Structure 1
C-alpha cells in the first residue's frame, strides 16, 4: 500500500513537529522552567547574531538595545534564554549580587571553549584557559605588571601625547574640530601597548612602521580585530572565492601570523644570545618569550606565547581606547564634571609632567574614566559554564535560592549589571562621584573575582596620564550639528553602541571641538 504525497508531507511534518517540541521542552527543563525569553535563535549563534533584531530574534546586541527594559524591567535577577529553533539554552543575569556569587569562586565554573573561540585563533592564553592552565598563564604574566612597567606606561603615554599634538598640527592653534575621538585614542592606546608591552618603537606617523605584508602593523592589527568574528563564521574555502575583500582579509591574517611568529623567534634568539636581557627589559613580551624555555608550571609553547601576545594587544589597547573616547565625550556633555577634573589636574600638576605619585591624587579624573567604563563596559558579556550544581541566592522577583544545574551556560551581562538601577541609581546618567572612595577590587567593570583583568592598573595609568595632559591643555566641547542641543547630541551619538572590534563601545563617530585653555 503506497502513501500519497500529501500523506508523506504530513508524516514528515508531524515528525519534525514532534522533534521540535521534544527539543524545546528539553531546553525548558534544562533551565528549570525559569522565566525568560523564547526567541527563534539564540543570540550567540551565527544565525541569531547575523539576523536583525525582531520580535522573533533578539540579535547579538540585545543586551544594549534592551538595557532599559531587560529582565522584565529589572524585576528578575536571573532569566532564561530558550530558543525554540536553534541554540543552546542558557541563563542571563543583570544582577551584581548574582555575578559576585558566581565569579568569587571560579573553581565551580569553566570558560566555554566554543564561546572563547575568538581568543583561541592564535593559541591558548590567559583569557581562555581554565583552572590550573589559567594559573600557569597568570603566574608567568603577573610579574611583568609592576611599578617599573607602570612608570614606563606613564612616560610613553606622555611622549605619545606630545607626538600626537605635533603630528596632528595642533601646536599654536586655539581651536580644533576633530571628527572622531576614537581615531585619536585608538592610535594612542595602540602605541602605548606596542611600546610598553612589546618593546616596539613605533611613532604617531606610520611612514617608518614595520610592515606586515603590504601594510603597517597598526593597520594590520586593526583589520584582524575588526574581522575576527567574520573569520570565525566563514569557512576557509570562502576566502578562495574571487571576492577581493575576502582575499585581502585572508592575506592580512596570513601576513600577521607570520609577523607574530617572526617577532617571537627574533626575541627568542635575542634572549638566547643575551640571557641578561630578561632582567633589563621591562616589556611583557620578553617575559612571555622567555617562558618558552621554562619548566613545568613556568613554561609556554610557541602558540601560547602568540595567543597571549594577541590577547594583550587586543585587551591592552582597544578596551582602553574606546573608554577614553567615551570619557572625552561625556566630559564634553557635562562641563561641570570636566571643570572639576581640570581644577584637580591643575592643582596637582600645574606646570610639570605627572608622576606615578601624582596619579592616585587624581580621584575625580579617574572616577570620570570609571564612570564612562560603567556606561560602556568594554567586556559586554562574561560567559561561564557551571562545572557542578550551583546554588545562587536571588532577591528578585522574590528572595529565594535558584539551582543552576551542572553544565548550564551562564551569561553575565555586564551592560545589564552596570545599568541596573538597584546597583547604580539613575543608571543612564554620567555621575563620576559614584566611584569616590571605591577600592580597585570593587570597580566591577574590570571583572569580578580572581579572574578580574590583569591589566587594570596598566589601563588606569595610561588613561590618567593621557587625560591629565589632554584636559590641562584643552577644553572639550561636543561638535554639535546645526541647532543641535546637548541632549540631542547625546541621543545621536551616545545611544549608538555595539562591537568595536572585539570590544564594546560607542559606534558613532564622536565629534569634538577642542579649545586651548589659557
Structure 2
C-alpha cells in the first residue's frame, strides 16, 4: 500500500483570523527569512482564511513551475491585474494563453530582438545627455526615476518604432504610473474595492487606461491601414500567424499584450538597472572593471546586440544583480486539481508562492549568498538550478531576452562615459510589492570619465 503524503507542511500556528498577514505586512522579507530558517524551504503560512505553501527549494519550485505546471494556474493576485491590463500573457490562462504564446514567441527570439538594439540605444541617449548635465553641474541624480524614464522610452521604441509622437510619449509617461499603482494596490490588498466602484483611485486608473487605450488604438489602426516595414514588436504582433498562415491577434488582444509589455518591460528592467548601478557604486573596483571591459570592446562607438557576448564581466554583474534583486521576486500559483509538491498533498484551489528571492539567496545553494559577487558567474560557483529570475518552464517570461538586451546595452552606455557614486551607500532595505524595489531613493553623484 502506498503511504499517504502528509497533508500540511510545517509552519507557524496562530489563532488570529488574519493568520500571519500582520507579520508579513510589517516586514515581509524579514519574516519570510525567519520562517524559512525555522521551518525549512517548503512551509505553510496562513494569510487570512487561506493556507499558502511557500516554496524556496529549487526542486520543489521546478515541480510547480515545470514538471506539474499543468496542475496550476496563475495566482489570485495576477488574476486581479486583468481588470486594467486585460488578458495578455501575464494574466491569460488555458487555450488563450497557449495561442498567444505561440503567436508571439517568434517576435521575442534573439534574432528578432537584435534588430531592435538601435532603438534601445537611441532611446537611452536623452538620459545620457541629462546625466552629463547633472555631472557638469554637480547635481545629484535620483537613479530610480531616471531608470524608469529610460526604460519606458525604450519599451515604447521597441513596441512602436517611430509611431509614437513626443506628445503621446508624454501622455504615456504621465498616465502609466497611476494605472500601475492601482494595479499594485489591488494585488496587495487583503480585501479589495471592486474596480466598478467609483472611488478616486478607480476613476484615476480608468481615466489613465482610457488615455493609453486611445494611443494604442490609433497606432494599431494606422498600422492596419498602412503596414510599415520594420522590426518593432507591434509590427511583428500584427503580422503574427499560425503555421498554416491563419489566425492572428485581433485589435483587443494586441492592446492587451501592449499594456502587458508596458508593465513587464518597463518597471522590472528599471528596477534591475537601479540595483545594478547601486551595486556598482558600492563596489568601485567592480564598476571600474566593467567599464574597462566596455571601453575595450566599444572604443568610442555605441553598443549593438552583437557586442553582448563580448562583455562577459558586465553580463556577470547583471546576472548577479538579478540573483540578489529579482524584480519578479515571488511567483504565485493556484492548484487547479489535487497535486503533490515536495511530497505534500495539496487540494484543488490551494495557493502556492514560489519565493524566488529566498531561493536565490539560499545558503544551501550559494556561497556568501547575500554578497554581490559577479565572479561566481565566471568561475563555476554559480548554482543554475537555484536561479529563476524570469520564472521557469513554459510560462517563463517571454521577454527575458529583451530584458537582458536592454540591461546590457543601457548599462554599457551608462558605464562608458560616466561614473556612479552613492556616498551614503544607498538604501539598505528592500520593499517587496508586485516587484522588488529599494525601500528608499537611490541618490547618486555622477561624474564624467575621460
* Structure 2 residue 184 is the aligned partner of structure 1 residue 229: yes
Q: 1:109 to 1:118 in 2, by over 3 A?
A: same
Contact persistence 2:179–2:206 (CA under 8 A): no
Separation of aligned partners in 2, 1:237 and 1:407: 26
**212, 230, 233: which one pairs with 1:284?**
233
In the superposition, the TM-score normalised over structure 1's length comes to 0.76
Q: CA deviation at 1:462?
A: 1.1
- Pick aligned residue for 1:190 from 152, 156, 172: 152
- 2:448 matched to 1:506? no
In 1, Cα distance between the equivalents of 2:17 and 2:249? 39
**Which ranges of structure 2 fall in alignment gaps of 5 or more residues?**
none
CA positional deviation for 1:497: 2.0
Aligned 1:82-121 pairs, distance under 5 A: 82-83=46-47, 86-105=48-67, 106-112=69-75, 115-119=78-82, 121=84
Instruction: Please report how far the alpha carbon of residue 176 of structure 1 lies from its aligned counterpart in structure 2 after TM superposition.
Output: 4.0
Cα deviation per residue 1:431-460 (whole Å; 9 max; x = unaligned)? Answer: 112323679998511111222111111111
Query: How far has the Cα of 1:110 moved from its partner?
Result: 1.9
Say how many residue pairs are matched.
439
| Correspondence list, 1:293-312, <5 A | 298-312=247-261
**Cα distance in structure 2, aligned partners of 1:452 and 1:293:** 21
- Offset, 1:37: 3.3
**In angstroms, what is the RMSD of aligned CA positions?**
3.2
Normalised TM-score (structure 2): 0.86
1:77 matched to which residue of 2? Answer: 41
Residues 1:467 and 2:411 aligned together: yes
- In the alignment, is the contact (CA less than 8 A) between 1:63 and 1:415 conserved in 2? no
Q: Alpha-carbon deviations, 1:351-405, whole Å to 9, x = none?
A: 2222322211211111212211222211122112234443444xxxxxxx33334
Aligned equivalent of 1:270, options 221, 226, 246? 226
Instruction: Check conservation: 2:71, 2:335, Cα contact below 8 A.
Output: yes
2:357 pairs with 415, 427, 430, which one?
415
User: Against the structure 1 CA distance between its residues 287 and 38, is the aligned structure 2 distance closer, same or farther, given a 3 Å change threshold?
Assistant: farther
Query: Separation in 2 of the partners of 1:439 and 1:33?
Result: 29
Contact 1:177/1:479 (CA < 8 Å) preserved in 2? no
Name the CA shift for 1:108/1:322 in 2 (closer, same or farther; >3 Å). same
CA radius of gyration, larger in: 1
Secondary structure of the 2:366 match is coil
Residues 41 and 57 in structure 1, CA contact (< 8 A), matched pair in contact too: no
Task: Using the TM superposition, give the Cα deviation of residue 407 of structure 1 relative to its aligned residue in structure 2, in angstroms.
Answer: 3.4
- Residue 416 of structure 1: CA displacement? 1.6
SS at match of 1:150: helix
Q: Are 2:167 and 1:209 aligned?
A: yes
Unaligned ranges ≥5, structure 1: 1-29, 44-54, 272-276, 394-400, 481-488
Distance 1:465 1:102 in 2: 33
Report the equivalent of 1:48.
Answer: none
Equivalent runs, 1:306-385 vs 2, <5 Å: 306-385=255-334
> CA contact under 8 A between 1:42 and 1:88: conserved in structure 2?
no
